[in-house]
Amino acid sequence: MIDSVPSESTRRAALRAGIALYTAGEFHAAHDPWEDVWLDIRAASDDDASNADDTLARDDRLFHGLIQFTAAQYHARDRNWSGAVGLAESAREYLADHPADYRGVDVVAVRAALARIESDPERVERGPAPPLLHGGSRVTPESLTLGAASLAAEALAAEYGLDVDTVADAARFAREEERVGRSRFAALLFDLVRVDTPQERRLVYDRLSGMVDKERRKEEDVDGLF
């Protein structure tokens, strides 16, 4: 395998980050963590055909299928019925040959939900989105690792016009704090994923941004000494 192949931990973090966002109703943002991993998998496969083993190929189709699954939900809610149907058909093809419970995802339930969109996309107006479970459980922000929460926070920043670099730096500082048992940045990253109103999200982001600015200045001061 070449270096660009996403690690197992990266794939799992991205998978759970996207599922948590989907569960929160963030159908558009949910595709971001999945797409980043899917593109890396695709690049690795294209770069060296010997890397296209069964697991990598299945993961390629899983992430691609989930991207199109949540996009179908998004377009249906935007009343783009033809777009929703087309994406549902394509997603079902990508997931057609997967085992029933692949990487903890109930693929059978996802395929069934896609078939329902194909036959009647307007059903999304008559009820909630079908659940997307992982390991049989609902994925909440509290159940995420720091890595998965960071990916979800960056996706939300991109979705709502917040500075993604600031959130990415917050994630970096959170990882540094984790090594010494502190959690100031981690707590705010989890809060950014947990809150569900624009006002709350902005308050959390503003506090996080202020902390990031302070840490950046500290780094600049240290760099200036050398």
Q: Binning pLDDT at 50, 70 and 90, where does residue 14 land?
A: very high
Yes or no: say if 32 and 155 are a contact pair by the CB < 8 Å rule: yes
What is the signed CA dihedral for 3, 66, 144, 37, rounded to 10 degrees? 20
Q: Which CATH class is domain 8-126?
A: mainly alpha
Residue 207: both structure tokens together: 């506090």
Q: Where are the domain boundaries for CATH 1.10.3450.10 in the chain?
A: 8-126
Confirm whether pTM is higher than 0.85: yes
> How, if at all, do strands 101-102 and 105-106 pair?
antiparallel
Q: Binning pLDDT at 50, 70 and 90, where does residue 159 land?
A: very high
Yes or no: say if 201 and 156 are a contact pair by the CB < 8 Å rule: yes
Region label for 69, one of left (φ > 0), alpha (ψ between -120 and 50) or beta (otherwise): alpha
Contacts of 90 (CB under 8 A, 6+ apart): 68
Q: Is pLDDT at 125 greater than 80 in this prediction?
A: no
Yes or no: say if 89 and 118 are a contact pair by the CB < 8 Å rule: yes
Q: Which residue has the higher pLDDT, 224 or 123?
A: 123
Q: Is pLDDT at 51 greater than 60 in this prediction?
A: no
Confidence at residue 11, expressed as pLDDT on a 0 to 100 scale: 96
Residue 91: both structure tokens together: 């997603």
Yes or no: say if 144 and 192 are a contact pair by the CB < 8 Å rule: no
Q: How far apart are CA 152 and CA 42, in angstroms?
A: 21
Task: Provide the sign of the torsion angle of the four alpha carbons 107, 81, 161, 68, taken in this order.
Answer: positive
Average pLDDT, whole number, for the chain?
Answer: 92
Among 174, 169, 172, smallest CA distance to 209 is for 169
Confidence at residue 1, expressed as pLDDT on a 0 to 100 scale: 38
Q: Is pLDDT at 107 greater than 90 in this prediction?
A: yes
Q: Binning pLDDT at 50, 70 and 90, where does residue 2 land?
A: very low
Contacts of 144 (CB under 8 A, 6+ apart): 16, 17, 20, 152, 190, 193
Angle of helix 8-23 versus helix 54-77 axis, rounded to 10: 20
Yes or no: say if 56 and 41 are a contact pair by the CB < 8 Å rule: yes
Residue 110: both structure tokens together: 């996802």
Terminal Cα distance for the chain, rounded: 38
Q: What angle do CA 210, 213, 219 make, to 5 degrees?
A: 150
Q: Is pLDDT at 52 greater than 60 in this prediction?
A: no
